[in-house]
């Protein structure tokens, strides 16, 4: 029991460290080699946990080895385009100028239903309005409409849009984020004055308070959830 | 390329550690096998007491390597080998001339199996 517990903690720490070192990409969009590593690591880590007769090393050494291989492959594929193409493939253009490339569709084993489903999920209902649909190497489909079909932007309409900057959280669930406060060039005295303006005694009564580059404040007071 | 360098170095280090592990295991098993062979030879000449002493020396070495073997060898393999040791010891204590050859054979089989398990051969890799 104790051994399983300690082993679980060690494997958990090793997995967390490995996935963290592999980078954020691993969590969302995975290339083929990354998917293989992620699937293998999860399986390898489970064995010494399920059977205490298997030495811990039998689980940890493969995790470290796979991690090193993945780092090497990722590094070399950054430098060598041919290796990258060999390992991860190339993006495929499934629709070009409103015309479906059936050969590419077949090559990627992408059915018409899947194509339509992916397009609908991106708000493109009509193929004739799609300039390009590109199947990326991580399996995502990127749809690009003809410029005339794209939603109008402020730049296209030549409308002046004030830049409000990035909103920074100053108080999160009653806790003052001192680093963010300093980053905005504000201090405690300024914050207390703002709280007073919102008729709040202290930060503990604030659920969320944000400040954007234009100096605008978003304020949400804490609700009493005990009554709910 | 710093990260890749560290990863490459770590891979090399792991491979070297694996080679060192093979050498360590080889040395341990060879030492124990020599003592087991001596015990078997003594038993074949009817010197059961001396054979038991020789086997005890092998058991002492086997037990002394416990922390190493438990980290690198599957625990059921270790248990089977320990059982084989004590089976031999019991037969020697009983001076059982008919039973000990097969018990020694079994012990040698387990020791060889542990030794060969880590060796890099096509058969063990595939």
Residues A173-206: tens digit of each pLDDT: 999 999 999 999 999 999 999 999 999 988 999 9
For residue B4, tell me if it sits in a domain.
no
- Dist CA B121 CA B99 (whole Å): 34
For residue B101, the domain's CATH number is 1.20.120
pLDDT tens across A11-47, in order? 777 776 776 666 544 445 666 677 777 777 878 778 8
Say yes or no for a CB contact (<8 Å) between B72 and A55: yes
Quote the pTM value.
Answer: 0.65
* CATH class in words for A168-223: alpha beta
Boundaries of every domain in chain A: 2-86, 92-149, 168-223
CA distance A9 to A42: 14
**Which tokens is B22 given?**
């093979």
Does A168-223 match A92-149 at the fold level?
Answer: yes
CA distances from A215 to A106, A172, A183, A184, A211 (A): 54, 18, 13, 9, 6
- A-B interface: how many C-beta pairs under 8 angstroms? 42
- The residue to which tokens 């309409």 are assigned: A157
Would you say residue B19 lies in a domain? no
Q: What is the count of structural domains for chain B? A: 1
Adjacent-strand bridge partners of A133: A95, A143
Asked if the A92-149 domain carries CATH number 3.30.240.20, the reply is yes
At A72-100, the pLDDT tens digits run 888 888 888 888 888 777 889 999 999 99
Interface test mutation site (partner A, options B1, B2, B5, B11, max chain A beta carbons within 10 A): B11
The model's pLDDT over B41-70, given as tens digits with 9 standing for 90+, comes to 999 888 889 999 999 999 999 999 988 998
Q: What confidence score (pLDDT) does residue A82 get?
A: 85
Do residues A200 and A206 lie in contact, with contact meaning Cβ atoms separated by under 8 Å? yes
Tokens of A56: 């811990």
The DSSP code for A172 is E
Nearest to A68 among B10, B73, B74 (CB): B10
Rounded to the nearest 5 percent, the helix, strand and coil shares of chain A are 50, 15, 30
| B77 assigned to some structural domain | yes
Look up the domain containing B59 and give its range: 25-125
Domain membership flag for residue B12:
no
């Amino acid at each position: 029991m104790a051994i399983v517990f300690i082993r679980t903690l060690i494997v958990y720490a090793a997995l967390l460290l490995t996935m963290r070192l592999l980078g954020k990409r691993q969590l969302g969009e995975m290339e083929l080699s990354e998917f293989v590593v992620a699937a293998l690591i999860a399986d390898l880590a489970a064995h010494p946990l399920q059977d205490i007769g298997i030495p811990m090393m039998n689980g940890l050494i493969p995790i470290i080895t796979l991690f090193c291989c993945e780092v090497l492959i990722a590094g070399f594929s950054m430098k060598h385009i041919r290796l990258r193409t060999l390992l991860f493939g190339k993006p495929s253009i499934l629709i070009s100028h409103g015309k479906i490339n059936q050969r590419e569709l077949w090559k990627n084993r992408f059915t018409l239903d899947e194509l339509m489903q992916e397009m609908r999920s991106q708000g493109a209902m009509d193929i004739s309005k799609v300039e390009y649909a590109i199947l990326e190497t991580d399996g995502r489909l990127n749809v690009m409409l003809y410029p005339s079909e794209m939603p109008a932007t402020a730049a296209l309409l030549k409308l002046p849009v004030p830049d409000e900057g990035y909103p920074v959280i100053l108080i999160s669930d009653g806790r003052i984020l001192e680093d963010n406060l300093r980053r905005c060039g504000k201090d405690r005295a300024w914050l207390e004055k703002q709280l007073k303006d919102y008729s709040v005694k202290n930060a503990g009564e604030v659920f969320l308070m944000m400040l954007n580059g234009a100096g605008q404040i978003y304020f949400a007071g804490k609700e009493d959830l005990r009554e709910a | 390329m710093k990260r890749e360098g560290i990863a490459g170095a770590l891979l090399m280090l792991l491979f070297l550690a694996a080679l060192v592990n093979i050498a360590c295991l080889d040395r341990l098993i060879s030492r124990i096998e020599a003592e087991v062979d001596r015990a078997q030879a003594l038993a074949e000449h009817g010197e059961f007491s001396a054979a038991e002493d020789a086997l005890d020396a092998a058991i002492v070495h086997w037990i002394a390597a416990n922390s190493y073997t438990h980290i690198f060898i599957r625990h059921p393999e270790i248990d089977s080998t320990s059982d084989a040791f004590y089976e031999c010891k019991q037969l020697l204590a009983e001076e059982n001339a008919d039973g000990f050859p097969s018990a020694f054979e079994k012990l040698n089989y387990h020791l060889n199996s542990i030794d060969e398990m880590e060796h890099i051969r096509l058969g063990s890799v595939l």
